[in-house]
Amino acid sequence: MALRSSLINVMEKAARKAARGLLHDFGEVEQLQVSRKGPADFVSAADIKAEKTLRYELEKARPDFGFILEESGEVASKDGEHRWLVDPLDGTTNFLHGIPHFCINIAVEKFQKRPSGKLRREIIAGITFDPIRDELFWAEKGQGAYLNERRLRVSGRTKLAESMISTGIPVQGRSDHEAFLARLASIMDKVAAVHRMGSAALDLAYVAAGRYEGFWEEGLKAWDIAPGLLLVREAGGYVSQFDGSETMLDTGEVIAANDKLHVELRRVLREATSQKHTTGIAPGSAKSSA
């Protein structure tokens, strides 16, 4: 049986308490009070309520930790080196449309300010909790990744042609649709399937669990990906940006896969981006004649 640390237990307790409210409201999704934050970016009353529950429970357990909260912003750390990264509802659009694919994301970040003023950021523990399926994905640095009590390993597939890859599609109001389509066209030509399920947090958890062979997306926030980055690494996988660097928490750009496929995925995505910039069209598409 996997031995969970006090940090994991604190996060699980908070997530399960917040999930009770989410599940209640999910059952009455048509009656939710919903306000508009921006183009294709919604926040529900359930989202805000869940965040308040999470903050209360986490602050009670670790009063010296700071917060980065999706809805409420940043709360300074009292100890100067730890903070919670919290997404109370990843997959909000799914939730609001009655689609049972969403989760709660919590991670613990240890940070240190460098002489340059930049932060050295490290995720030391995290969970992704799917309340619909009662699946708790959790990991702690150096201790492995788990789904409930089962140890996780990334997929062992070594060929893109046999792989299922997940991604996210840029939403309304974003200007990078053409770049995404160039990458998608290039990937689709080389893999068994591409999935878009609407939750980057669960996509990364599924890579850690071997359900997907890989994942890529950009424009994400730290709270979307923090637990998933640790989950994939602790399950034996690799995570980076498209250029191979590893400041994903700052840039929001991620590729995740096993050791055999990560380099190949990076190459395909990099070449697709380069071709798009050179030709102005997506790979594989035909130029129109005047």
* Tens-digit pLDDT profile for residues 163-181: 999 999 887 766 678 888 8
Same domain for 131 and 183, yes or no, is no
* 140 and 172 belong to one structural domain: no
User: Is 223 found in the same domain as 260?
Assistant: yes
**Mean pLDDT value of segment 87-102:** 92
pTM of structure: 0.89
Whether 290 maps to a domain, the answer reads no
Q: How confident is the model at residue 254 (pLDDT cuts 50, 70, 90)?
A: very high
Predicted local distance difference test score (pLDDT) of residue 284: 46
Whichever domain contains 248, its CATH number is: 3.40.190.80
Q: What is the mean pLDDT of the chain?
A: 89
Q: Which of 132, 151, 170 delimits the end of a domain?
A: 151
Q: What is the mean pLDDT of residues 39-43?
A: 57
Beta bridge partners of 129: 104, 136
The reply to whether 108 and 37 lie within a common domain is yes
Tell whether 10 and 146 lie within a shared domain: yes
**Six-digit token string for 167:** 């991604």
Domain count, the chain: 2
With CA atoms as reference, report the closest residue to 163 among 184, 194, 189. 194
Instruction: Report the CATH number that the domain containing residue 69 is assigned in CATH.
Output: 3.30.540.10
Buried b (16+ CB within 10 A) or exposed e, 96-122: beebeebbbbbbbbebeeeeeeeeebe
Q: What is the CB neighbour count within 10 angstroms for residue 289?
A: 4
pLDDT at 72: 86
251: containing domain = 160-278
Question: pLDDT of 12-35, one tens digit each?
Answer: 999 999 999 999 988 887 666 677
* 36 vs 259 pLDDT, higher one: 259
Q: What is the mean pLDDT of residues 203-222?
A: 96
Residue 247 has pLDDT above 80, yes or no: yes
Domain limit, last residue, from 89, 124, 151: 151
For residue 139, name the pLDDT band (cuts at 50, 70, 90): very high
Same domain, 135 and 272: no
Residues comprising the chain, all counted: 290
Residues 232 and 186 in one domain: yes
Residue ending a domain, choose from 98, 128, 151: 151
Report the percent of the chain where pLDDT is more than 70. 89
Tell me which residue has tokens 């409420």.
72
Judge whether residue 116 has pLDDT over 70: yes
Q: Do 140 and 16 lie in a common domain?
A: yes
Does 128 map to a domain?
Answer: yes
Same domain, 111 and 178: no
Q: Could you tell me if 30 and 83 lie in one domain?
A: yes
What confidence score (pLDDT) does residue 42 get?
61
